[in-house]
Amino acid sequence: MYSIFSGCGAVRLAYTAGGRVVAGSNPVIPTSTNRSFSVNNERFFSSTCQGSAVKSSVCSIFGLVPKYTYEDMHTFKKARLVKSKAAKGNYIMYYVWDVQKNDLVRRRLYIPKKYKSDAEQIAFAKDRIKEINRLLADGFHIDRKKTVKSNSKTKNIRSKTIYSIREATATFIEIKKAKKLYKRGIGFYSNNLERFLKWLEEQGQDSLWIGELDYQLIQQYFMYLLIHRKNSPKTYNNTLGVLKTFYNECLKQEWVEGKNPFDKIDKQPEEYGSKNKPFSNEQIKDIKEYVLEHDPYLWKIICFIYYSFMRPSEIRRLKVRDIDLKKDLIWVSGKISKTKKRDVVPIVPGLKKIILEMNLEEYHPSDYLFGANQTPSTTKMGENYMGKHFKKVKDNFEFDEDHTLYAFKHTAVVNWYEKEKDIRKIQKMCRHSSMLMTERYLKSLGLLDDKDAVSELPEI
């Protein structure tokens, strides 16, 4: 027979044999879920998570694994319901032994939001507490190096560093910051990951280890985005891209093994290049006249975008030393380039005229080309300067939201293509990684239709 002894809040199994209590022994407890075992671990679980759906769910959510029958019983503290006035609401709390941390760790299971009334919450908690305490009493614990066997498949989950999903996302953001990702990019990743974490909390699954993210749970999240949040295809695809990138980093850092479960989620079809419409030649003429009269410094910025095909964020980070007037080149550092590689951009005559007017020889090479006071300086132009100044232009001409400052680059592409139709040159100037990317881009601008060729089609 066996008995349970309690002491100092911890519970330890003791074995009674021949009338003597032998603390720390490891009996095979006769239950309906017992499995035979051998020392070579081919069949080693004293009990398994195979049984009720609730029991299987608890094991999956908390990453609990059975103890080997030759292991000492691990200490734990029983699960109990905690009523909380915090935003997350009531939760179940218990302490389980973590082998890698060599200590008891606290685990919380928040009551899902779908249970509104006290009666519903208590009923949910009662079932979960019963199953959790039964698992703890049977020796279940946290050990990420064990093999977890299920009816359907075998997974081998290992991690040199132990990360919950929240810990992994926080470290992922720190990695991005260390790689000098721009502030706006950091915000984009952070916002998408925080929304995913918030959803996991609402499902009561925010305590998952990163390796416990599976396709079924991920699919539920994207169905939620599609049906309940009614995300547009672009927003949906952006979220998918962020989460894929996040999990790929987890694989790269060896926080988890296997395949990326986000790869199974299909992207939504979206209209490519719906924003950033090019300006017509008539609009350019009117804009130039207005800007030169009201904001001449903005015209310099516009010329840089038009003649260099560079992004406003890249231009804002250029330094005086990046301008090489002897070779007529702009050296784009990998730290500021959209490709994260060092690039060179030719200085065409129209742009060189603007640069010469800036008298760069009077400034230090390390000064930012577009400084805080409309001259090169040690302080770069404010992040919102360009957008705020161009908004006055948009308001004056009542342009729609698709006509942005970056549209001057699209205007340059349209004008160049209509003159030469040399896709290869445009690919190099745009710094696209492939011809296909350039073709898609040109198609989004209404180009590549080749009407003249089709008009020569013989009649039948």
Got the DSSP string for 210-272? Answer: GGG--HHHHHHHHHIIIIIS---HHHHHHHHHHHHHHHHHHHHTTSS-S--GGGGSPPPP--T
* Per-residue model confidence (pLDDT) at position 289: 96
Q: Which residues of 227-261 are buried (b: 16+ CB within 10 A; e: fewer)?
A: eeeebeeeebbebbebbeebbebbeebebbeeebb
The stretch 412-422 carries a mean pLDDT of: 89
Q: Which of 225-234, 259-268, 441-450 has the lowest mean pLDDT?
A: 441-450
Q: Which pLDDT band, with edges at 50, 70 and 90, does 274 fall under?
A: low
* Per-residue model confidence (pLDDT) at position 273: 52
Q: What are the tokens at 203? A: 């499902």
The stretch 96-108 carries a mean pLDDT of: 87
Whether 146 shows a pLDDT value over 70: the answer reads no
* Per-residue model confidence (pLDDT) at position 171: 92
The stretch 370-383 carries a mean pLDDT of: 92
Q: What are the tokens at 100? A: 């890698």
Please indicate whether residue 150 or residue 360 has the higher confidence score (pLDDT). Answer: 360
Q: Collapsing DSSP states into helix, strand and coil, what is residue 428?
A: helix
* Per-residue model confidence (pLDDT) at position 95: 93
* Per-residue model confidence (pLDDT) at position 59: 65
* Per-residue model confidence (pLDDT) at position 272: 55
Q: Which of 124-128, 233-237, 274-278, 358-362 has the lowest mean pLDDT?
A: 274-278
* Per-residue model confidence (pLDDT) at position 116: 85
* Per-residue model confidence (pLDDT) at position 389: 95
Range picked from 62-71, 152-161, 172-181 for highest mean pLDDT? 172-181
The percent of residues in the chain predicted with pLDDT above 90, rounded, is: 43
* Per-residue model confidence (pLDDT) at position 11: 39
Q: Which pLDDT band, with edges at 50, 70 and 90, does 161 fall under?
A: low
Whether 385 shows a pLDDT value over 80: the answer reads yes
* Per-residue model confidence (pLDDT) at position 455: 55
Q: Which pLDDT band, with edges at 50, 70 and 90, does 150 fall under?
A: very low
Range picked from 40-49, 243-252, 270-279 for highest mean pLDDT? 243-252
Q: Which of 111-125, 147-161, 317-331 has the lowest mean pLDDT?
A: 147-161
Please indicate whether residue 449 or residue 156 has the higher confidence score (pLDDT). Answer: 449
Q: How far apart are CA 253 and CA 226, in angstroms?
A: 31
Whether 56 shows a pLDDT value over 70: the answer reads no
The stretch 423-449 carries a mean pLDDT of: 86
The percent of residues in the chain predicted with pLDDT above 70, rounded, is: 78
The stretch 452-457 carries a mean pLDDT of: 56
Ramachandran region of residue 9, left (φ > 0), alpha (ψ -120 to 50) or beta? left
SS3 readout for 357-392: HCCHHHCCCCCECCECCCCCECCECCCCHHHHHHHH
Which helix (H) or strand (E) segment holds residue 208: the answer is: none
Q: Which pLDDT band, with edges at 50, 70 and 90, does 412 fall under?
A: very high
Specify the CATH number for 165-264; select among 2.40.30.170, 1.10.150.130, 3.90.550.10, 3.10.20.90.
1.10.150.130
Q: Which of 53-67, 88-102, 304-318, 333-347 has the lowest mean pLDDT?
A: 53-67
Q: How far apart are CA 276 and CA 408, in angstroms?
A: 9
The stretch 56-65 carries a mean pLDDT of: 64
The secondary structure of the chain in percent helix, strand, coil, rounded to multiples of 5, reads: 45, 15, 40
Which residues does 337 contact at the CB level (< 8 Å), separation at least 6? 314, 343, 431
Q: What are the tokens at 28? A: 């095979």
Which residue do the tokens 């702009």 mark? 330
Whether 69 shows a pLDDT value over 80: the answer reads no
Q: How far is CA 329 from CA 184, 343, 344, 351, 355, in A?
A: 28, 10, 6, 11, 12
Domain with CATH 1.10.150.130 in the chain: 165-264
Whether 8 shows a pLDDT value over 90: the answer reads no
**281-451, CATH topology level:** hpI Integrase; Chain A (1.10.443)
Q: How far apart are CA 445 and CA 160, in angstroms?
A: 49
Domain with CATH 1.10.443.10 in the chain: 281-451
Which residue do the tokens 């890698």 mark? 100
The stretch 69-89 carries a mean pLDDT of: 85
Give pLDDT tens digits for 188-236: 999 999 999 999 988 888 778 888 888 999 999 999 999 999 998 989 9
The stretch 381-403 carries a mean pLDDT of: 91
Q: How far apart are CA 122 and CA 115, in angstroms?
A: 9
- The pLDDT mean for the chain works out to 80
The stretch 360-386 carries a mean pLDDT of: 93
Q: Which pLDDT band, with edges at 50, 70 and 90, does 447 fall under?
A: confident
* Per-residue model confidence (pLDDT) at position 453: 52
